[in-house]
Amino acid sequence: MPKGRLYIVSTPIGNLEDITLRALDTLKKVDYIACEDTEHSLKLLNYYEIKKPLISYWSEKEKVRAEEIIQKIKAGHNVALITDAGTPGISDPGAVIISRAIEEDIEIIPVPGPTALIAALSISGLNTEEFTFIGFLPVKQTQRRKKLLELSSERRTLVFYEAPHRILQSLDDMLEVFGDRRICVARELTKMFEEVQRGRLSEVLERLEESKIAGEYVIVIEGALEKDRSIEEALKEVRELMKKGKGRKEAVKIVSELYGLSKKELYEESLKKDEI
């Protein structure tokens, strides 16, 4: 018996009408629909009067259910993989099932659709020619700042996802590490309370501190300017010299002359980075 297929189907990120005709046709034709949360997915499926056997692969169930799904496909059944919103495997569950399907040489067919990161980029007003999608930052502040520091010299536009209970802390850390760059923060995209804030990081942060924090957020922030990049590269040189036994003042003196930077500014930045 020939194997079935695995369809990776993108679903709306909020507005139920943001779904392609092909996605609806696929969901109607497959034998099973594997979903992150059956209760959540039923809102979409009932809206379009789609009735199919559902397999939940939520969270810790994913590894176990992945095997069940693979066996059904190997038995000749077609399965559509969906998440609560957006595309499976992109900052969402689904990667385990997709990896297992690849291992079993199962045909995987993408059925693309809406995605929050592209929607936010398109309205950000920032450079969209090159961008880097990071997804969610680490929960702990020390790890989050470390990650931001690694990204601080990245010149491409950066895109993050963030939960409502961490949005203010993350933006505050970005201001500390990145400086006052241009930013766009979008929340509840395509939903009733959609809201977009643009401006300097400090301005947007101040506005958000005075507004109601709710819903899922997408953060789009401009990449490092040439000056920022030079300082980051200089700081790396300072750290390398210090690892080799040079004192901070001596390392800063050597590097500041090499990069044409202020000794005082470089010294202060060096101290600041070590505190993160």
The reported pLDDT for the residue numbered 10 is 97
User: Residue 206 CA to chain centroid, in angstroms?
Assistant: 23
Least confident of 49-53, 119-123, 176-180, 183-187: 176-180
Task: Please say whether the beta carbons of 185 and 217 come within 8 A.
Answer: yes
Please report, to the nearest 10 degrees, the dihedral formed by the alpha carbons of residues 173, 158, 112, 62 taken in order.
-40
Phi and psi (nearest 5°) for 34? -95, 120
The DSSP bridge pattern shows strands 217-221 and 157-162 to be antiparallel
Burial class (CB in 10 A: 0-12, 13-18, 19+), 258: exposed
The pLDDT of 208-231, averaged and rounded, is 87
What are the CA-CA distances from residue 167 to residues 76, 163, 201, 206 (Å)? Answer: 45, 6, 12, 12
- Kindly report each contact of residues 204-213 with a partner whose C-beta sits within 8 Å and lies 24 or more positions away, as own/partner: 204/171, 205/168, 205/171, 205/172, 205/175, 208/167, 208/168, 208/171, 209/168, 213/164, 213/165, 213/167, 213/168
The reported pLDDT for the residue numbered 275 is 62
* Chain segment 234-253, per-residue pLDDT in tens: 888 888 888 888 889 888 88
Task: Please say whether the beta carbons of 215 and 185 come within 8 A.
Answer: no
Is the pLDDT score of 276 beyond 60? no
The angle at the Cα of 38, spanning 32 to 44, to the nearest 5 degrees, equals: 85
The reported pLDDT for the residue numbered 252 is 87
Could you tell me which residues are beta bridge partners of residue 187?
195, 217
The reported pLDDT for the residue numbered 69 is 96
The reported pLDDT for the residue numbered 200 is 96
Least confident of 2-6, 25-29, 35-39, 271-275: 271-275
pLDDT confidence of 261, banded at 50, 70, 90?
A: confident
* Chain segment 48-92, per-residue pLDDT in tens: 999 999 999 987 788 889 999 999 999 999 999 999 999 999 888
* Chain segment 126-167, per-residue pLDDT in tens: 999 999 999 999 999 999 999 998 898 899 999 999 999 999
Least confident of 130-139, 194-203, 205-214, 231-240: 231-240
The pLDDT of 211-231, averaged and rounded, is 86
Phi and psi (nearest 5°) for 65? -70, -25
Tokens of 241: 């010299």
Domains annotated on the chain, with CATH: 6-114 (3.40.1010.10), 117-221 (3.30.950.10), 231-273 (no CATH)
Least confident of 121-130, 159-168, 222-231, 250-259: 222-231
- DSSP for 212-256 reads ---S-EEEEE----HHHHHHHHHHHHHHHHHHTT--HHHHHHHHH
The reported pLDDT for the residue numbered 28 is 98
The reported pLDDT for the residue numbered 239 is 87
Nearest to 183 by CA among 120, 111, 98, 138: 120
Phi and psi (nearest 5°) for 134? -100, -35
Structure-model confidence comparison of residues 218 and 239, the more confident one: 218
Is the pLDDT score of 17 beyond 90? yes
pLDDT confidence of 229, banded at 50, 70, 90?
A: low
